[in-house]
Amino acid sequence: MRVYLDNAASTPLDPDVLAAMMPYLTEVQGNPSSVHSHGRTVRAAIEQARRTIAECMGCTPAEIVFTSGGTEADNMALKGCAAAGHIRRIITSPLEHHAITHTAETCAQLYGTEIVWLKPDTRGNLSLSELESYLKDSTVPTLISLMHGNNEIGTLNDIAAIARMGKQYGALVHTDAVQTVGHLPVNLADIPVDMLSASAHKFNGPKGVGFFFRRAEAPQLPTLICGGSQERNQRAGTEAVPAIIGMAAALKKSVEHLPEKTRHLLDLKQYFMQGLRQHIPGVDFNGETADDRALPTVLNVAFPGTDDEALLLYNLDIYQISASGGSACTSGAVGASHVLTALGHSPLRMAHSIRFSFGYQNTREEIDYVMDKLRILMADTVQA
């Protein structure tokens, strides 16, 4: 049996999404910026996709900009605000994806932007009191950039409360919602962030496409990718038409089936946790695990007594089970997870930690198979 439990890295392309994309890969031709009928047909399809995404997100179509993915959208938010002089300080967290942490550090180098790192607790929770302490009695123009759900440990931030606090003190607020869009309710009519990043391949859409939301009332940002006048002069380059069509189809299907999808994911996660606790003494979990405080898709497991994460991942791969040691974007790097390091875990615990992440295509039968192989591997480790 082949089991894919690395959905936080990338989800399988939904067959219905592929079907929606196919005409734009094989039949419908034309550059969407062209004025002839072929171009107008493609332009109409892109704008319908924009409307579909806006309806799913609770915003207006004009507030959606198509990008190559979440990383580009994160760069648009942080670099855009810093380059335009809208901010002189970024408040963020060491738990963020490197698309945020590295971009913030680049802003510090290029524009002299101050970076404030909030301190998480051992489960990855951030203190709103600490955040408020940096905001009150301060006149420094500030951008708060905090992710909605953590890609490595699954802990959720109360991004609506964070956004309201930002508004109270006059700060701009951005959230990397790459792990939550399409998996949890994200309604921008209720969550008053100024900017948001999302990526299609996290919710069963195609790779290489995402979107950036900028609220109409938020300051205008400079163009980071220059060239043509696409995306209302906010992002130059011919649009990736089939991918955009697929992203809209994927998000629409995810939102329409969100309740049953979430129930299925939570069932798999809780079933796996129960099996781990029952069959592997000493097992623990990194990050929050309560349903209302964590992603339904992510479970970061600290195993007892394994030699190291790489060996366990290798042995799982022999059994055709795909999991991860952390973010796929840094999986080839040498060293401990920056997220687990920020939580204050020991090198030994970090070396024994594996991220399993679930998708709608996974089943209890697959979880049983994984548990059976883990019991064998852990028994071999104890005997060794």
Q: Can you tell me the distance from the alpha carbon of 44 to that of 352, in angstroms, rounded to the nearest whole number?
A: 51
The two three-digit tokens of residue 300, written as one number = 């970061």
DSSP codes joined into one string, 78-147: HHHHHHHTS-SEEEE-TTS-HHHHHHHHHHHHHH--EEEE----TTS---HHHHHHHHTT--S-EEEE--
DSSP summary character for residue 220: P
Q: Would you say 113 and 82 are in contact if contact means Cβ atoms under 8 Å apart? A: yes
The two three-digit tokens of residue 152, written as one number = 């490595």
Q: Would you say 332 and 324 are in contact if contact means Cβ atoms under 8 Å apart? A: no
**Region of residue 233 (phi > 0: left; psi between -120 and 50: alpha; otherwise: beta):** left
DSSP summary character for residue 179: T
Nearest Cα to 301, choosing from 349, 346, 263, 262?
349
Q: Can you tell me the distance from the alpha carbon of 304 to that of 306, in angstroms, rounded to the nearest whole number?
A: 6
User: Residue 155: helix, strand or coil by DSSP?
Assistant: strand
Q: Give the chain's length.
A: 384
Active site residue 329: yes
Alpha-helix runs per DSSP H in the chain: 15-26, 37-57, 70-84, 98-111, 128-135, 159-168, 230-233, 241-256, 258-279, 309-318, 338-342, 347-351, 364-383
Helix, strand and coil content of the chain, in percent to the nearest 5, comes to: 45, 15, 40
Q: Can you tell me the distance from the alpha carbon of 74 to that of 174, in angstroms, rounded to the nearest whole number?
A: 8
DSSP run (H or E) holding 250: helix 241-256
The two three-digit tokens of residue 291, written as one number = 């349903």
Q: Can you tell me the distance from the alpha carbon of 136 to that of 6, in angstroms, rounded to the nearest whole number?
A: 41
Amino acid present at 39: G
Annotated catalytic residue, options 56, 107, 226, 329? 329
The two three-digit tokens of residue 183, written as one number = 């998996």
Q: Which residues are catalytic?
A: 329
